[in-house]
Each structure stands twice: as C-alpha cells, then as structure tokens.
Chain A
Amino acid sequence: MVDGPALEADRSREDASTRAAPMVAVYRHDVHKLRHRRHSAAAESYAGVAVNETVPLHADRDAALLSRPRGEPEQTVANHWSPYRLSLLTGETAVETDRIQAAAGGGFRDLVTPDDPERLHARWLPSAVAGAYSESVHYPYTSLQYHTLLAAALLDAYRAGRAFEDLWLVATGSSLDDASTTDTATTRDPEAALAADEVEPHRTVCWTPDLALHVTATPGDSPAARLGDAPARSFADVWSRLPAHPIDTDGGRRWRLLDAQLRRIRSWSVALAYIDEFIELHGSAAERGDGA
C-alpha cells in the first residue's frame, strides 16, 4: 500500500507520462492489437489520437497477470496463430462472425476516439468488435475486450490510492436483486451502458442481461469476494468464494452449468468472455426469444 504523499507524487509523475489523460490512454493502449501489429511496431497515433501509450501504475501488467501466465509467452494452441479470439464456449474462432468485417472496416475507431473516459468505458463494455480479439496470439482464448476493461478498473483503483489487495469482485444479478433491470438491459449498446444503473464507469468489467461483474475497492453492501494479495489467474477461486450466488443456481440447471464452468476457469478475461457468450446463447433473453 502506497501512503498518501508518496502516491500523490507518483501519480502526478505517472499522469505526465501519457499524452492522453490516463483514464483515456488505458482504453487506447492496445490499439496495435486491433491493427494486427506488434507493440514494438505500433503507431503512436490512430485516427488523430495518441494510442499505444504505456498505462501508468502497472495497471496493464497487473491486468495481464490476471489472465496470462508471467514469463515469456509460448504458443499454447498449435494450429491457431491469429489475433482473433477462440471461443471457449463453442471452440470457434471469432473469424467466423461478422465481427471481423466490422473490425477490418475500422469498426474499432469508436473504441478509441472519444476523449470522455466514461464514454470510452461504455463503448468497450458491450463491444463485439473488441471481443473478437485475444489479448495475445499465444493465448487465443483470452479476450482483448475484457483485458482492457480489467486494466481500466485496476488503473481507476490505483489512481484513487488503492492497492491490488484492496480490490473486490462484486457480482450483481437477477437472483440477488428483485428489482433487476433485466428487461431493459437486453439492449446492450454504449448509450444503454451510460444510462444503466448497474454500470459503474471503469469498475464494471462485465455487463450482461443476467449478470454484471465489477472490480472495486468499495463493495458497499453488495456480496463481494477479495481478489487476493497479488494479481494472478484466479477467477475460479474468487468466483467460488462469492458470499451469494448472483445467478439462480438453485432454480435453473443452465445457471448451475455456468457456475460449474466458472469454478474451473482461472484466466479472468477468458472467464468474462465465457460469461458473455454463455448468457448470449443460454441466458434469459435467449430463453424468451426476444433477443440473443
């Protein structure tokens, strides 16, 4: 834990290290991946804004450790050498969806150009385009979308003077909240994210019609589980320690299936992408047939 004055000094120095405001830079730090370029060969600007800047306070490194092992990366899937994410739910590459055409056509411009950090968060949160990419070609089941959201949540907390060990995972879902906004949340777009009560800027790291997850240092009265002393692939451990079930595991077998899988997945961005896809395919909206 960094004490007050030291943190102030640290923060002003770190803030000066990015041309964009830090909470903006964090959503632009991996644009080279969307452009199929290595970090070392990344352009400094894209669409007129500064991109690929180093994220302050090691938030990017810590977010990466939540989803990938430390050390030199090695190829983990022998025949998949591509920036496109493999789906853990279906086994397919995202290449087979419309997302790639959208991304290739500059569809990710929306994900980097706004200067308002809250709008950037709202655009990343439901973005299918960002969800088509993995964090690294070496770990194709990871998700660039959820890596970026986790990095932003960590940076937001670190800038508020919190350390990693102060952070909690908070889950909100229909089985915890009778007045759930499930019906309205079936439309997932940036405007809905900006307006939604259950979305907290930067802290909401996964937003689906049935379940939302937040990383925060101030869980309040919500059921919350600590992330642990240091960043590591630990999603299953944190999820299985939540003090209440955010999804209706008593009532629905598909929710027990999701819960069971989440007790096995250790990489954070893989798990969040799995939740997103599972709920799209098997969630309450899919069951009602009024949207997928």
Chain B
Amino acid sequence: MTTIQQVLFEMESDYMGHPYFLTGHALFNALARRVNGRVRRALNVSTGVFIPGEYGAYPESHSHDGYAGKLGMSLPPVEAYEDVFVFRDAAQRWLLDSRPRDAHNTHDIQSHGGRLAFAPATRFGQPPEHRNTKRTMHWYVHCYLHGDGGDEDILPLSEGVLDGLRVGGARNYGLGELSLTDTQGIDVDALDYSRVRSADELQIELLSPYVVQSEYPGADRQSVPWWWASDRQLRRRQTRLVAGDDAHEVATIDHGQVVAYAGDRPVETAKNGIQRVGTHAKYGFGELRLRPADADRVPERAQAEADQQGGES
C-alpha cells in the first residue's frame, strides 16, 4: 500500500517565492525543521500548486460530476487516477464559465520596494458605487507528501507540523505564511486506473520540471527517459536549489510540455508519475501525468468539433 497525504494550505500573507508554484524544496525545508531525523530522511514533498478559492465544477474526467461548490477551498474526493490531478493543472479547468475564470486564476501582484510578490487574496467589486458587492477571493496551495519505501508509516504528518509554515522570500518579515486548511490520505494502489489501462495511445504531461543536471551534492546527470517520445526539442530551463547559504544550479526540462508515451507499463508509469521520477523527486521534480492521447487537454476543443455550427459575434 502506497499512501500519499494531500495537503491544502491557505495563503495568509504576500508570497515572494517561486512564481510558477511553491517548490517542493521550499516546502521540504519548511517542514524539515519541524520533524525528526527519520521523518526528514523518508519524507518526499511535491511542488505546491496555487489554487483560487472559487466556485467550480468537477472536470469531465473526474469520478464525480457537476457543480462542486467552492472547490478550491477543500480537497475533492479521490477515487480514480484522474482525481489526483484536479488541482495540479495551473489552468484550473474546474473554474466556472459563468464567472471571469481568468481573473480568478491570476494572482494580484504586489510591489514591495520594487520586488514583486503574489497577494494572498484578490478583491473583486470595483467601482466604488457598488461597494456592497465587493468580495474577496483567497488563494490556497495544494501539495502532497509520501514516505520512501519501507518508511511509509511516517505519514500522516500532524496538523501541528503542517500549520503555520512560512515559505519564499522575506519569510522572516511575515511573508509567505501558510495555514493548514485540509488534509487527506490516498492509497495510490487502490485508485481506478481504467482510463489509462484502456487507452490505445497515451501522452505524458510534465507537471513539474524534470532534472537533467544538478550541482546539488550527490546528484547524477540524467537523460530524458526512453519512454518519452517527442519529435521536437523540449524546452529547458535553469533553476536553483537553495540550501542554506548555497545555491545549486539545476538544469531541467520545463514543466507544461506534453510528449507521447512510448512505454508499455502505463499503470506502473502512472503510479511512478505521482511519486515522481528522476533525481530530486524528493523535492517535487519529475511529476507527470498520463492522459489518453485522444482526450484533449482542452475539453472545449472536442466540443467545438462536435458543434461546428455557431453564431457570429
């Protein structure tokens, strides 16, 4: 039995860290000082994805369907493999069309003496003559934890350990504070993998960067896995792992890209993708999702093809 612990935090103050997501390394460092040596050695942390606390509907592939209330403020039920990823996609496809979804899914940017930070809340409701309709939307952060094989019983981490973490820049000055909102355990082996198992062709979507080279002590150079098939060059990005006063350069294949799956054990790959592959998987690198190649990432495209007749604007 492989258990992961999903954790949802609420952002309590401005955040001046990594803008794509909260790095697993930052989350790991914040947690590491609160746990004992055995937990620290076994603990694996994913990247933290920013989630707007907004009304939403379950995506089509989810094992539940329809309107889901304020989806970003709690952890949705997880029964199938696809359910793991509701919050792991930066485009947050569950947001409702009846609201300005792009306004809900972009951070307000605050300037601190010229340094730009993400605000923990977005206020809607200008202009001032309509004060009564002002409302505030809060931001959340989703991540998940697991233990190395043999040391899986380190989970779940307690509320006392998870609540009140501080991450990102200027955290000693009150920035980057997170409070615990929700947590749940998931047995990865017990999920329904039927969509992955029955697909003729699969694609791999990179949900976090994949490390190819790192100056971090003990990290080997890595090649792109043979089971990634791409006819074009993959976009690379330099990033850094900061450990104490030292910053280590890390070369990665950038997240967000999609390649064809050329392997032959999709369910196993799917499970590994949740627990991440490659070096620095412990810190959130190498997370990936398998998706049937005929299921478009953009559900509206399939709908558009089914419905070619539309009105002019």
Chain A residues within CB distance 8 Å of chain B:
39, 54-55, 58, 60-61, 64-65, 68-70, 74, 76-80, 86, 88-89, 91-93, 135-136, 139-141, 228-234, 236-237, 240-245, 249-250, 253-254, 256-257, 259-261, 263-267, 270-271, 274, 282
Contacts and interface: CB of A to CB of B under 8 A. Distances in A.
A136 B312 CA distance: 13
Contact of B19 (A91, A236, A253): A253
Contacts of B300: 65, 69-70, 232-234
27 contacts: A58-B310, A60-B313, A61-B310, A61-B311, A65-B300, A65-B310, A69-B97, A69-B300, A88-B106, A228-B298, A233-B300, A234-B300, A240-B256, A242-B235, A243-B233, A243-B234, A244-B235, A249-B237, A254-B116, A256-B20, A260-B19, A264-B91, A264-B106, A265-B102, A265-B105, A266-B105, A267-B102
A233 B238 contact: no
Q: Which interface residue of B18, B106, B133, B305 has the most chain A CB atoms within 10 A?
A: B106
A237 B298 contact: yes
Interface residues of B, number: 53
Contacts of B257: 240-241
B203 to A, nearest CB: 11
Contacts of A228: 296, 298, 301
B182 to A, nearest CB: 22
B71 to A, nearest CB: 16
Most A Cβ at <10 Å: residue of B127, B238, B257, B313: B313
B149 interface: no
Nearest to A231: B304
B126 interface: yes
What is the interface of chain A mostly: helix, strand, loop, or mixed? loop
Contacts of A78: 133
Contacts of A274: 106
A257 B91 contact: no
Interface of B: 18-20, 90-92, 97-103, 105-109, 115-116, 122-127, 130, 133, 232-235, 237-238, 254-258, 296-298, 300-305, 307, 310-313
A143 B232 CA distance: 33
A117 to B, nearest CB: 20
A250 B237 contact: yes
A91 B254 CA distance: 30
B106 A265 contact: yes
A128 to B, nearest CB: 20
A76 B91 contact: no
A263 B91 contact: yes
B100 A260 contact: no
Given A254-B116, A266-B101, A233 B298 contact: yes
A234 B310 CA distance: 18
A91 B237 contact: no
Given A254-B116, A261-B106, A270-B102, 9 more contacts: A61-B311, A70-B310, A80-B127, A91-B123, A139-B100, A228-B296, A234-B300, A256-B20, A260-B20
Contacts of A70: 300, 303-304, 307, 310
Contacts of A267: 102
Nearest to B240: A250
Question: Which of A92, A228, A230, A249 counts the most B-chain CB atoms under 10 A from its CB?
Answer: A230
A232 B297 CA distance: 11
Contacts of B101: 266
Contacts of A260: 19-20, 90
A263 B307 CA distance: 27
A136 B100 CA distance: 12
A261 B304 contact: no
Given A74-B98, A241-B258, A282 B91 contact: no
B109 A264 contact: no
Contacts of B313: 39, 60-61, 64, 68, 135-136
Contacts of A254: 116
Contacts of B304: 65, 70, 230-232
B261 to A, nearest CB: 16
B68 to A, nearest CB: 18
B90 A263 contact: yes
Contacts of B102: 88, 141, 264-267, 270-271
Nearest to B115: A253
B133 A79 contact: yes
A124 B287 CA distance: 42
B116 A257 contact: yes
